[in-house]
A and B are shown apart, each in its own frame.
Chain A
Amino acid sequence: MDWWLLSPEIIVATLALVLLILDFLLPAGVDRKKMGVFALIGLLAALLATLDIAGSKGQLFGGLLAVDNLSLFFKIIFILAAICVFLLAHDYLEKVPGHRGEFYWLTLTALLGMMITAASSELITIYIGIELMSLSFYPLVGCLKKNKASTEAALKYFILGSFAIAVWLYGAAILYGLTGTTDLAKIAAGLGKEAGPLMYFGLFLLLAGFGFKMGLVPFHMWVPDTYEGAPTPVTAYLAVGSKAAGFAVFLRLMFTAFPALYARWMVWLGILAVLTMTWGNIAALRQSNIKRLLAYSAIAHAGYTLIGVISFNATGAAAIMFYLFGYLFANLGAFAVVIAFANATGSEHIADYAGLRWRNPFLAFCLALCLLSLAGIPPLTGFFGKLYLFLGALERGGWLLTLVIIAAINSAISLFYYVNVIRTMYLLPPKDTGELKSSPLLNFTLVVTVAGVLLALFYFQPLIGALQANDLMSAAWLK
């Protein structure tokens, strides 16, 4: 067992523990900002470590954790998300002076949980990863002590999260019962014998549990309320990190454990995808709060990403990874602007964004670009991501063509509420003409994220080349 394959997790774990202890030891009066800087450096180190071992393949802990293109790429996404959350939260945490240290190490533990979930190829480790991630997210969501919305969001997220995990566990138990093992590859072998209704029910329960994490429609009810209630950096982290982790493990599960049942679950996922896209887009049409709007847009994007799983081929899997990579930049950029606007004016209503173009042209330009990338307008990343997903789906062919058309029409409908925000910023006159300042750190994050959104023309080929260079995961058939 070569330990350096595990280096990213080790770095993050030690970082979290050090911060925990420091937070505990340092007296309340000491300013915790430096802890943030320290954490950032640690994360950069973790990122470098992951890039260093990129491309290598291997098993850790005797098959519990798999190291392959899929897990490493998702780790990069999680670390990038964590870095951005740290940058966004830096000024935001003025609102909650006492808990800055907690925020930092909870984010790191959540990051650790995501990395484990993405890498694990065995049911119990998946459970551990998900629980570690969720348990760190619950306090993060509720960390604004005095704020009623934050606590309500935490409550809803906690109850429904546990409920979903319970359902998920029940499914895992059933599958364990039928196949006698919890390792995904062995499950695939064990399932061959008799495909009885109990097994399909077990699969569905797993799907329900992951559906909750990914925000698929019948299980999405928590998403709008939690996204609106939680502090915005945490919402950003949820929208990008937790969703990506959900997709990572769901991808691995479906591709390695259940290729035999593909014919049945493909149809379920098709229905779920259409439902998710359409519900997310149509519900977002009339939103007045920018965070709720981005919540429903996140749901809609979960619907689009599901197409990659349905297409069930190498292109589909690579497409999901690229799509979430592009989605990371667009979403974090959008949330950065929301934070900057909230920090300056304290409001999250879209109507208040009127005339932002005059008050702060840079913010308006960045938000416009991020929203357009989410809408899938060329030449931004969203467009390439969607196109790559559709390519994967059409490689499978058959009724997926109608799914692609529905998705394309959905992105046309989504254009309405994205452009509506742009309309408010660019077309309507500003309500009060005060200059709107945003902190240099936020501007830096914006530059990074918008660069990620704009430069798709150039990094699309190298990235997908790397993704499709060697096989994404150990799934036997996926050559």
Chain B
Amino acid sequence: MPWLSLLLVLPVLGALIIFCTPREQDKTVKAVALLIGILETVISLGLYFSYDFHKAGLQFIEEYNWITTLNIKYFLGVDGLSLPMVVLTTFIFLCAVLASWGMSHRVKEYFFLIMIMETAVLGVFTSLDLFLFFLFWELELIPMYLLIGIWGSARREYAAMKFIIYTMTGSAFLLAGFLAMYFLAPERTFDITQLAKAGFAPGVQSLLFVLIFLGFAVKLPVFPFHTWLPDAHVEAPAPVSMILAGVLLKMGGYGLIRINVGLLPEGVKAYIPLLATLAIINVLYGAYVALGQKDLKTMIAMSSVSHMGFVLLPVAAMTPLALNGAVLEMFAHGTVSALLFFCVGLIYERAHTREIKALEGGLAACVPKIAVAFIIGGLASLGLPGMSQFIAEFLVFLGSFPVLRLPTVLGTTGIVFTAGYILWAIKRIFYGPLNPKWAHLKDMQHSYEYLPVVILVGLTVLIGFYPALITNWSDSSLLAMLR
């Protein structure tokens, strides 16, 4: 049963159904989207638990010849590294669909684009042919542009355009890297499994590494290329922000591990000092800029930049322990930042502002449920034990320390600044005497506002309490990859 193809085709099917339903029946459109979301989650969980993690390596493989003259294959497969990402994607999209249940502006197009996005992102995580990977990688550009451009807030067009130009330029290098790899491989192929055995010369590997790293660095985002993220997050509507932070950033991280670490180990070794410094700049600079932000969403966006620094550090360290930490970090950050953006979305829906100074004044009194959700999300993101983020960061430090002593030490100081800006924001917004201006705010009532919080908090605490749920899966694959 071609599960992975089903996983990819289902959203497209949903999109077509939505395309055919007449405009005014937005209830059916939402129902279709929700149904697809649930189906996808069920399938991905089914895949997850029927994946036998004892024998590492690719399972549920589907391989058909597509473009024979150029030796390009329609090649799908998942292993311990990509499965957690697939599950994360399906959950995040389910929560995004739920979060946009109250949407009323151009509903049909909105859910059409969300469905296309889901296929694109799942395609990236499941495809094992670089050409197919790149095709899905660029497929999510236009839907994201329209999602930010049409449903965003004030400066949405600028932010959307900046997003698309940034990512496209990044993927220009990515394409060049993939094609160069195609030609430098002993027999010309895009197939990742064969490229892994190709054994390129170190000099070649460092050139390929630079090209491909640039592509993923824009997406991760890494320090100098990150300025699109705050703009995209601030302008995007809450559900789109959830997708952007929850899943799109992970494509960069996944790509770095799968291709840069997997296929070009010598390339990584050539640039370890640079990567380590960039990772630490990401962590500390991200935390510092977040501390200095006046807008709540930019703060969380910059905190994503900071947390993604913890994904880049293991790539520089290249130890199995650290890389397991990176996979866990991507999963944890996905759920946590989606939760935070959802709460900010709720606040923005009610207070119509994201300025921390404007929101100041004991919201906990008038919107206790949102306050609790945000605080749980905040505490999770500052790495509180019992939540997934802590164990992820701990593994990252544990794995990276023997190899990169100073960067890891500097990285650990990052958790202080993270605690700083998050608690400071919580104090200013939720604590303190109730500001009469916000006394009228209504708390969460509808079920579609509760469900995402329950799902995301549940995932965070579940992985926090029992990380083996992910590390068992990713451990065997990463060990196989690094050998």
A interface with B by C-beta (< 8 Å): 372, 377-379, 383, 387-388, 390-391, 394-395, 397, 401, 404-405, 408-409, 411-413, 415-416, 419-420, 423, 426-427, 460-461, 464-465, 468
Contacts and interface: CB of A to CB of B under 8 A. Distances in A.
B69 A465 contact: yes
25 contacts: A377-B141, A377-B142, A378-B138, A378-B139, A379-B139, A390-B179, A391-B70, A391-B182, A394-B182, A404-B176, A405-B173, A405-B211, A408-B172, A408-B173, A409-B169, A412-B169, A412-B171, A412-B172, A413-B165, A415-B164, A416-B165, A419-B145, A460-B67, A461-B67, A464-B70
Given A378-B138, A394-B180, A465 B68 contact: yes
Given A377-B139, A416-B161, A461-B68, 4 more contacts: A390-B175, A408-B175, A419-B145, A460-B67
Classify the interface of chain B: helix, strand, loop or mixed. Answer: helix
Contact of B180 (A387, A401, A419): A401
A36 B413 CA distance: 77
A359 B272 CA distance: 55
B69 A461 contact: yes
B183 A395 contact: yes
Nearest to B172: A408
A403 B406 CA distance: 40
B37 interface: no
Interface string B92-134: 0000000000000000000000000000000000000001001
B183 A397 contact: yes
A394 B183 contact: yes
A412 B179 contact: no
Contact of B164 (A378, A405, A419, A464): A419
Interface residues of B, number: 33
Most buried by B among A377, A379, A413, A415: A415
Nearest to A407: B172
Contacts, number: 84
Most buried by A among B168, B183, B211: B168
Contacts of B134: 378
Interface of B: 66-70, 131, 134-136, 138-139, 141-142, 145-146, 149-150, 157, 161, 164-165, 168-169, 171-173, 175-176, 179-180, 182-183, 211
Contacts of B146: 426
Classify the interface of chain A: helix, strand, loop or mixed. Answer: helix
A383 B137 CA distance: 13
A391 B184 CA distance: 12
Nearest to A458: B66
B121 to A, nearest CB: 14
A468 B69 contact: yes
Nearest to B132: A378
A430 B32 CA distance: 30
A244 to B, nearest CB: 22
A326 to B, nearest CB: 15
A460 B131 CA distance: 14
Contacts of A426: 146, 149-150
Given A394-B180, A461-B67, A412 B141 contact: no
Contacts of A461: 66-69
A277 B146 CA distance: 27
B69 A377 contact: no
Contact of B135 (A379, A394, A405, A468): A379
A194 to B, nearest CB: 36
B144 to A, nearest CB: 12
Nearest to A464: B69
Contacts of A460: 67
A130 B192 CA distance: 48
B384 to A, nearest CB: 41
A408 B176 contact: yes
B179 to A, nearest CB: 5
